[in-house]
Amino acid sequence: MSDQFKISLPDGSVREMPLGSTPADVAAAIGPGLAKAALAARVDGELVDLSRPFTADAQLALVTSRDEADALDLARHDFAHVLAEAVQALFPGTQITFGPSTDDGFYYDFAPKDRQLTEDDLPAIEAEMRKIIAADKPLRREVWSREQLISRWQQQGESFKAEWAAELPGDEDLTVYWSGEDWLDMCRGPHLPSTGKLDPAAFKLTRVSGAYWRGDQANAMLSRIYGTGWLNKKQLAEHLTRLEEAGKRDHRKLGAEMDLFHLQQEAHGSVFWHPNGFKIWRELEAYMRRAIDAAGYREVKTPQVMDARQWEQSGHWGKYRENMFVIPDEVPNTEDDGPVISGEADWMALKPMNCPAHVLIFRQGIKSYRDLPLRLYENGCCHRNEPHGALHGLMRVRQFTQDDAHIFCREDQIVEEARAFCALADRIYQDFGFTYAVKLALRPDQRFGSEADWDKAEAELREAVVRAGMATDEYGWEELPGEGAFYAPKLEWHLTDAIGRTWQVGTLQSDRVLPERLDASYIGEDGARHRPVMLHRAIFGSYERFIGILIEHFAGKLPVWLAPVQAVVATIVSDADDYARDVVRQLEAAGIRVEADLRNEKINYKVREHSLKKVPHLLVLGKREAEEGTVALRSMDVEHQKVMPLAEAIAMLKAQATPPDVRATI
């Protein structure tokens, strides 16, 4: 064996390095600039510390801040360690547990000694972190035996770390990283060479929250500190600006500003839709009805409340009851001092989903194989008693209306029905301007049914997406092991909004369990009874959530066809009032949602107010327009107004107010 390693560099050159040398030595040999800029190394593709000695001939690429993804991840991971060190310095006795990097920063979970950490503690912790960074403490890797490390954690009272060390899989030795000579954490690494490589102005601690140890609510509640971390101050500032912009498009804030809806304590988790908000709803409902009518669905409406025995039979009473609203089937006692209910009545429940009711419709009469596929659609209003901490504006509510349909079909129709659904969903998401990813959630650990059934069900959905031409990177095609429902695999549609966030809305699940439980059957060509397969599917998911997503996606500036108020006619002087009333009448006749603003206010004031309410078009009328029969059209996000004859403005608004699916057929 030679006493030199051959180290190949990305430019193709090869350097001979003596035994015991490290990537840092290579960087130094190339030049002092690189030695200073190097943050870590990729050796044969694996990200390692600069100080990790070579063990064989290797391909080496030095990582600098130009390799942004690697550099960010290293920096964030180091910020997490510095955070942990700072917290232990300020709050002795606090146990450290676990702290990874995240998409925009890092967090670390602590088991506090006396009290939970709060946001008031963050400035002091940030200051302490900056001290540790300024001290430029070297980060040094050491390999310890498992026993040695466990006993050190136990000695230091770090019970969480000791538990973790004992349970880490495999029987290799464990690695620790020293920060200087006085603090260490168990970590696989790699890390930057020293804390001084971090930019003290490129991070900010953002919030404190609770988090369960190892993500299990049976375990202790820890204090989690979140931070955002970057390579430099500019990146941090840009990120903070992005957060601010995201906050501005928060649907809860815009919902109030645009007078769309409100929520209040007395009906928490259920939405009060105001006239403006419900105009969006109605437009979506009309859109969806056109879509499902054209796609061969039939719309139904089913009861809000059903007997508990029905829910027992469907399996919901046993498995889902904690999320259901149950109702006693009796006339309540009206005596002032008596109990309201007897406690002896039978139970009913508000429907948490529509599927059983649709099966009950299917079961009416005898179905022939010729009746299939039978596609039953409902704007189904459901109630679920969600955990209170989960409620969030329109996105997670207790009463919601699904665009829900169930396709009852024969085994041989599954793939084609699923394919057709992929095409339908694609057209609809495009109409709203969303891009999306299609994913297949595969069998979970806890599940019903045989392996053969799962093999088949997964293959059918996969085949449907392939036939739709969507099992490609372009459609974000991905399979998610273990993510399916307990009774079936499911296809999921994840929308990407204007600022890059994703929302799961659409779904398609093939279900053989519920038809069995509720005894749905049809007569086949052979004269025998067969079980239909039930495809559960939704495109909006729920109207509430979809409207929330639309508001955030468009930052309130909805396309004209969805805007609650499509145009405001605003006068400059009262001499134009009669003309304005006539303009409003003509716009209304053309089907435009228009309002008049004849108030005795300056035009500046009116412009400002309607702009804040995100009205897409403002028709400004003064003496001149009244005399000439024109309008001065000021449109959102268009710099200059345009004066045009009224007829021209009406034609233009009418075109814009036409829903995209209707436009396509004109």
The DSSP element (H or E) to which 194 belongs, if any, is none
529 flagged as catalytic: no
Binding range to RNA, per CB under 7 A, among 152-160, 264-272, 302-310, 454-462: 264-272
Instruction: Pick the binder of RNA from 52, 641, 654, 658 (CB under 7 A).
Output: 641
Give residues with Cβ within 8 angstroms of 502, minimum separation 6. 437, 494, 495, 496
When the beta carbons of 259 and 431 are compared against RNA, the nearer one is: 259
Q: Where do the H-state alpha helices sit in 432-512? A: 451-467
Residue 370 carries which side chain, given as an amino acid letter? R
Q: Is 384 a catalytic residue?
A: yes
Q: State yes or no: is 404 an active-site residue.
A: yes
Other beta carbons within 10 Å of 108: 25
Give the containing element (helix H, strand E) for 299.
strand 298-299
- Which one is catalytic: 197, 419, 439, 490? 490
Helices 275-294 and 414-431 cross at an angle (nearest 10°) of 140
Q: How far is the CB of 387 from RNA (least distance, A)?
A: 4
Residue with tokens 């954490």: 185
Query: Would you count residue 210 as binding RNA (CB under 7 A)?
Result: yes
What minimum distance in Å lies between the beta carbon of 322 and RNA? 8
Cα(31)–Cα(20) distance, integer angstroms: 19
Write the interaction track for RNA spanning residues 384-413; mark x where CB under 7 A is met and - where it is not. --xxxxxxxx--x-----------------
Q: Kindly tell me which residue out of 572, 583, 615, 657 binds RNA, with binding defined by CB under 7 A.
A: 572
Alpha carbon 409 to chain centroid distance?
Answer: 32
Q: Which is nearer to RNA, 3 or 322 (CB)?
A: 322
Choosing from 76, 224, 358, 384, which is the catalytic residue? 384
Is position 487 an interface residue for RNA (rule: CB under 7 A)? yes
Confirm or reject binding of residue 459 to RNA (CB under 7 A). Answer: no
> What is the chain's length?
666
Q: 71 near 42, Cβ under 8 Å?
A: no
- The single residue among 252, 289, 290, 531 that binds RNA, judged by CB under 7 A, is 252
Site string for RNA, 289-318 (x = CB under 7 A): -------------------------xxx--
Q: Which is nearer to RNA, 149 or 555 (CB)?
A: 555
Taking 3-state DSSP, the helix, strand and coil percentages for the chain, each rounded to the nearest 5, stand at 40, 25, 35
Burial 328-358 (b: 16+ CB within 10 A, else e): eeeeeeeeeeeeeeeeeeebbbbbbbbbbbb
Whole-number Cα distances in Å, 609 to 400, 598, 612, 632: 31, 13, 5, 17
Three-state DSSP state, 266? helix
Does 319 help bind RNA (rule: CB under 7 A)? yes
Radius of gyration of the chain (CA): 32
Using CB under 7 A as the binding rule, whether residue 188 contacts RNA is answered as no
Q: Does 545 bind RNA (CB under 7 A)?
A: no
Sign of CA dihedral 356, 357, 363, 367: negative
Query: Per CB under 7 A, which region of 50-58, 90-98, 583-591, 603-611 contacts RNA?
Result: 603-611
Which listed residue (88, 310, 402, 413) is catalytic?
Answer: 402
Using CB under 7 A as the binding rule, whether residue 124 contacts RNA is answered as no
Comparison of 59 and 641: residue with beta carbon closer to RNA = 641
Structure tokens at 211: 């988090």
Q: Name residues contacting RNA, limited to 148-177 (CB under 7 A).
A: none
Relative to beta strand 46-48, strand 40-43 is antiparallel
Binding flag, residue 601, RNA (CB under 7 A)? yes
In whole angstroms, the minimum distance from the beta carbon of 576 to RNA comes to 8
Which entry of 316, 406, 443, 530 is annotated as an active-site residue?
406
Answer for which of 9, 485, 590, 644 binds RNA (CB under 7 A) is 485
Residues binding RNA: number (CB under 7 A): 66
Judged by beta carbon, residue 370 or residue 388, the one nearer RNA is: 388
In the bound state with RNA, the residue whose beta carbon lies nearer, of 608 and 663, is 608
| DSSP helix/strand/coil, 112 | coil
Residue 47 or 513 with smaller CB distance to RNA:
513
Contact 590, 606 (CB under 8 A): no
Q: Is 358 a catalytic residue?
A: no
In the complex with RNA, which residue's Cβ is closer, 192 or 348? 348
Q: Is 449 in the site for RNA (CB under 7 A)?
A: no
**Candidates 80-88, 110-118, 366-374, 422-430 — which segment interacts with RNA by CB under 7 A?**
110-118
Position 634 contacts RNA (CB under 7 A): yes
Is residue 512 a contact point for RNA (CB under 7 A)? no
Look at residues 66, 93, 67, 97 and name the one whose alpha carbon lies nearest to residue 80. Answer: 97
Minimum CB–partner distance for residue 388 and RNA (Å): 3
Q: Which stretch binds RNA (CB under 7 A): 4-12, 357-365, 453-461, 611-619?
A: 611-619
Please pick, from the candidates 166, 282, 519, 605, the single residue that binds RNA as defined by CB under 7 A.
605
623 is a site residue for RNA (CB under 7 A): yes
Output 7 or 211, the one with its CB closest to RNA: 211
Q: Pick one of 580, 620, 650, 653: the residue that binds RNA (CB under 7 A).
A: 620
State how far the Cα of 77 lies from the Cα of 189, in Å rounded to an integer: 9
Residue 291: what residue type? A
Cβ neighbours of residue 593 closer than 8 Å, sequence gap 6 or more: 279, 563, 564, 565, 566, 567, 657
DSSP 10-71: TTS-EEEEETT--HHHHHHHH-HHHHHH--EEEETTEEE-TTPPP-SSEEEEEE-TTSHHHH
Q: How far apart are the first and last CA of the chain?
A: 79
Residue 530 is among the residues annotated as catalytic for this protein: no
- The one catalytic residue in 404, 426, 497, 511 is 404
- Residue from 116, 159, 194, 313 in contact with RNA (CB under 7 A): 116
Sole binder of RNA in the list 265, 364, 450, 665 (CB under 7 A): 265
Map residues 351-370 to x or -, x wherever contact with RNA holds by CB under 7 A.
Answer: --x-x---------------
Any contact of residue 45 with RNA (CB under 7 A)? no
Amino acid at 233: K
Looking at 224, 375, 383, 536, which residue is catalytic? 536
Contact criterion met (CB below 8 Å) for 160 and 216: no
DSSP letters along 327-384, please? EESSPPP--SSS-SS-S-SPEEEE-S-SHHHHHHHHHSSPEEGGG-SEEEEEEEEEE-
28 is a site residue for RNA (CB under 7 A): no
Q: Name the site residues for RNA (rule: CB under 7 A).
A: 115-116, 118-119, 207-212, 215-217, 221, 223-224, 226, 252, 256, 263, 265, 268-269, 314-316, 319-320, 353, 355, 386-393, 396, 485-487, 572-575, 600-605, 607-608, 611-612, 618, 620, 622-625, 632, 634, 641, 643
Supply the residues annotated as catalytic: 355, 384, 402, 404, 406, 490, 536
